[in-house]
Amino acid sequence: MSPKTLVPIVMALLVIAGAGVGLILYPSIYPEQAVVTNDAKSCLADDCLLVDDLEYPVGELSQEIQDALKEAIYDEYKARDTYEQVIAKFGSVRPFSMIIRSEEQHIASLKAVYDKYGLVAPQDPWTGLEVPATLTESCQLGVDAEIANVALYRDSLLPLVKDYTDITQVFNTLMDASESKHLPAFTKCAE
């Protein structure tokens, strides 16, 4: 597996596992600038992800929390698939070509939560979504999608998982990336 393939997986696992790791998940809409550090060294090997005395699954989740995870991953799948369709229609254009990588990281982070709790992540139900006729309209679609994503996490999902600090941390990270990175990029594109 190449380092580019491992980075989203490593970052997601580090967020979930904790383990004294300093992590910046989404420093910008340019994932190649992401910095993943471990107190001792950079971590891109599977063995450095091991957490002493941590057994998986770490616990059970109520159906309500499982439903919140499912809603979150479905929303991230939909964003990724929408942005894939924009790229298929207009070519590898920014910000779509960059933000789609972040959406893949969001999905990897959520799948790591599923793994941590011994659950199987649902498959992506979205394929061939329709996108607008113009790039500017597609950018506005991105604006609308990111606003809806922030509202979903803030108003619906975060209140449900407030007793789970690990899931709350992941949801907050994903919401913050949408609000502070993706939304401004799509807003600029839509102007």
Q: How many CB atoms lie within 10 A of CB 89?
A: 16
pLDDT in tens, 140-168: 999 999 899 999 999 999 999 999 999 99
Q: What is the DSSP string of 70-101?
A: HHHHHHHHHHHHHHHHHHHHH-S-TTHHHHHH
**In terms of CATH architecture, what is 3-190?**
Up-down Bundle (1.20)
CA 142 to chain centre: 15
53: amino acid identity, one letter: D
* pTM, to two decimals: 0.71
pLDDT in tens, 86-123: 999 998 989 988 888 888 999 999 999 999 888 989 99
